[in-house]
Amino acid sequence: MESRYKPSYYVSGLVFSICFFVSIAFPQSNKKVIIEVSADSIAHGETVFVTGNQQSLGGWNPVAVKMESLGGNKFVKTISVEAGTRIEYKFTKGSWETEAQFEPGIIPENCVAIIKSDTTLTHVIKAWNSGQKRAAHGQVTGKLDYYRAMKGEGILPRDVIVWIPPGYGEDTTRRYPVLYMHDGQNIIDPATSSFGYDWQVDERADSLIRAGIIEPMIVVGMYCTDNRGPEYSYGMEAKAYVDFIINVVKPKVDSLYRTKPDRANTAVAGSSMGGLISLVILWSHPEIFSKAGCFSPAFKIGNLDFAEVVEKSTAPKEDCLIYIDNGGVGLDAQLQPGVDEMLRVLKEKGFVVNKNLFLVKDENAEHNERAWANRISNPLKLFYSIKK
């Protein structure tokens, strides 16, 4: 689940919380969670939205889940979750630029609750964001080009960034493989990332390139939009997003930069729903892409079961390489059954572990940019390792 994180966009990454509630008794079944809010400084007719890491909380879409008004400045939302579930959530007035503040002028981290019994979580919102920016942790390493509001048929416009590897300007005859990544606002520039932390793709790639471990590559990041969910899923909007990458972004990148445009040198990667759409892209267009990096992928979520789609389809005839990883905490733990199912299906389709199917499990990792930053070197070395 943008340009300093463009306000109304929503994201897949989570962070640690300063609000932490833990219920007491161990449960036996699903538990009811009541989230109550008293919201100061809210005008008549305005409402409060809750968003978080559960589908019942909108999957970090800031406008998906409207809280029920109890009159005056009080609002409530009731959900049901499996016993032991860790929920993370925030409040908005319908976009990230109107994010709730528990202390005026301070953008809070996620609220976190581990649900072990029927639980009521109560919050008092003191103010709403009006332009404050979260502190950025880190910087951009290397050259980063921005292409604003690129348009594609059937989808919302979005910014696209292109990271140029070290040495690009020194040998003007050399051509480079390209890695296309989703949630581009989160991968390189901490100033545009959702919570001030980015994937550090630039630092990790730069270090590996300068150490002679991997060959230089160009990295292209497509920002997400308000329609991140359906665009990164499996349906008409997802098809339009894939067409945008193939018919708009890739031709532009290939025309402006010295790329190796063939499939053998074209890869795609992303996390959560971005991990899902990465495999969708590889599976549906192996004539264009040969590698996919799927971080904490949402292969099976809600009514979507892409493992079933893959199982009923024909495996690509072309040689393909798939990297899949996952953490073991919070949302990643909930995604693990879908990961396991996809691994089973891929093996049945002829993929072989440590040959063209590579797996990494980090039991202590959560579902956020800092965790993916710790693992991004894995596919970089897998995709671009210098053969010695």
Give residue-wise pLDDT tens across range 6-19: 333 333 333 333 34
Please indicate, yes or no, whether residues 293 and 329 belong to a single structural domain of this protein: yes
Please indicate, yes or no, whether residues 170 and 223 belong to a single structural domain of this protein: yes
- What pLDDT was estimated at residue 12? 38
Please indicate, yes or no, whether residues 269 and 196 belong to a single structural domain of this protein: yes
Give residue-wise pLDDT tens across range 134-181: 666 778 899 999 999 999 999 999 999 999 999 999 999 999 999 999
- What pLDDT was estimated at residue 134? 60
Indicate which CATH number applies to the domain containing 77.
2.60.40.10
Q: What total of structural domains would you count in the chain? A: 2
In the chain, which stretches have pLDDT less than 70? 1-28, 131-136, 388
Please indicate, yes or no, whether residues 352 and 311 belong to a single structural domain of this protein: yes
- What pLDDT was estimated at residue 14? 35
Last residue of a domain, one of 128, 159, 185: 128
- What pLDDT was estimated at residue 43? 84
Indicate which CATH number applies to the domain containing 212.
3.40.50.1820
- What pLDDT was estimated at residue 95? 84
- What pLDDT was estimated at residue 17? 33
- What pLDDT was estimated at residue 365? 93
- What pLDDT was estimated at residue 136? 62
The answer to whether residue 111 is domain-embedded is yes
What range defines the domain where residue 188 resides? 143-384
Last residue of a domain, one of 69, 98, 128: 128
User: Do 64 and 49 form a contact (C-beta atoms < 8 A)?
Assistant: yes
